[in-house]
Amino acid sequence: MFKRLPITTIVSLQAGDEAAFNNMYDHYRDLLYVIIFSITKQVETSQDLLQDTFIKVFTEVKTLKNPLKFHSWIIQIAKNLALNAIKKPGEQLLDETTWNYMGQNDDPSDFISLWHKNLSRIENLIIAYHLVYGLTFQEISHLIESPLTNTHRLYKQALATLKVSYANEGADNHERLQEKD
């Protein structure tokens, strides 16, 4: 389960403490990358937006009135930056080069690459929030601004889709191995 930063770290971060910023960066880097990548589906764009997220957090953390809301606040920043990036005219969300790159490198996105082939953007977010970072469905519902029942339905639908996808992927890999023999 994803553990939130202690309030003392957030207060130190708001006071400009560099060690608190480094701690926060290490703590949230992977979570934010998964969220951003689930929206953009592009490795380079996601890496750039991840850095933009931390720059925005660094410059605006002092304006956060309630440190208890830091977790939702930082996730919302990442989500908004990613959504704004894909709204730009001419932005290509997914191309063959991106998928080839992801499949051939030890990139953090490798473990979610199959999700993106088969799930909607919202299903990707729900799966990542719940399975990777251990958020409750209540927390996820709040973050994606969707009723709890809808969040549960989308989660179950995504799992069913993934089961079929993994079964098909396994059968395809088995056939390719037999063709080589």
**24-32 contacts at long range (C-beta below 8 A, 24 or more positions apart):** 24/57, 25/54, 28/74, 30/108, 31/2, 31/75, 31/132, 31/133, 32/74, 32/75, 32/78
Residue 158 parent element (H or E): helix 148-180
**128 found inside a domain:** yes
161 found inside a domain: yes
| Contact criterion met (CB below 8 Å) for 162 and 114 | yes
Scored b (16 or more CB within 10 A) or e, 17-32 reads eeebbebbeebbeebb
- Classify residue 88: in a domain, yes or no: yes
- In this structure, is residue 84 part of a structural domain? yes
Burial (CB < 10 A; 0-12, 13-18, 19+), residue 126, is buried
Please give the torsion angle defined by the CA atoms of residues 114, 117, 119 and 125, in that order, rounded to the nearest 10 degrees.
Answer: 60
- pLDDT tens, per residue, the chain with 181 residues: 668 889 999 999 999 999 999 999 999 999 999 889 888 888 888 999 999 999 999 999 999 999 999 999 999 999 999 988 887 654 444 333 333 333 334 344 444 566 667 788 888 888 777 776 677 888 888 888 888 888 888 888 887 887 777 666 654 544 544 554 4
Helices (H), 61-95: 70-86
The letter for the amino acid at 14 is Q
Contact between 74 and 59 under an 8 Å Cβ cutoff? The reply is no
pTM of the predicted model as reported, rounded to 2 decimal places: 0.56
The total number of structural domains that make up the chain: 1
In one-letter notation, the amino acid at residue 173 is N
CATH code of the domain in which 33 resides: 1.10.1740.10
User: Domain span at residue 13?
Assistant: 7-180
Residue 52 forms part of a structural domain: yes
CA 172 to chain centre: 28
Q: Is residue 20 part of a domain?
A: yes
Taking the CB of residue 10, how many other CB atoms lie within 10 A of it? 23
Q: What is the pLDDT of residue 114?
A: 62
Does residue 2 lie within any of the structural domains?
no
